[in-house]
């Protein structure tokens, strides 16, 4: 039986900065990203077929306008 060695595995000091750089400060979903998911689960009985019918960005907009996100990121 072979033993796995952790030396070959890159730790969080490698992966975290890359993941953090890819994240957006404002987690607002984009309709063009949600629509394909909705299309993939749509059935003949589906009543909601457009993202505009289910997406509401008002909560994150309100949080953003309050200045919370800027304060969170120290800006």
CA distance readout (Å), 73 to 15, 18, 28, 30: 20, 17, 16, 22
Give the tens place of pLDDT for each residue, 24-39.
Answer: 777 778 889 999 999 9
Highest-confidence segment of 8-12, 29-33, 64-68 = 64-68
The model's pTM: 0.51
Token representation of residue 18? 């890359």
Structural domain spans, the chain: 30-75
List the Cα angle 74/55/27 in 5-degree steps: 20
């Amino acid at each position: 039986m072979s033993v796995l060695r952790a030396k070959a595995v890159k730790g969080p000091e490698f992966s975290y900065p890359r993941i953090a750089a890819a994240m957006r400060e404002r987690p607002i979903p984009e309709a063009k990203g949600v629509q394909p998911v909705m299309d993939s689960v749509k059935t003949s009985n589906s009543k909601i077929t457009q993202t505009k019918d289910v997406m509401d960005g008002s909560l994150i907009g309100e949080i953003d306008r309050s200045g919370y996100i800027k304060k969170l990121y120290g800006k």
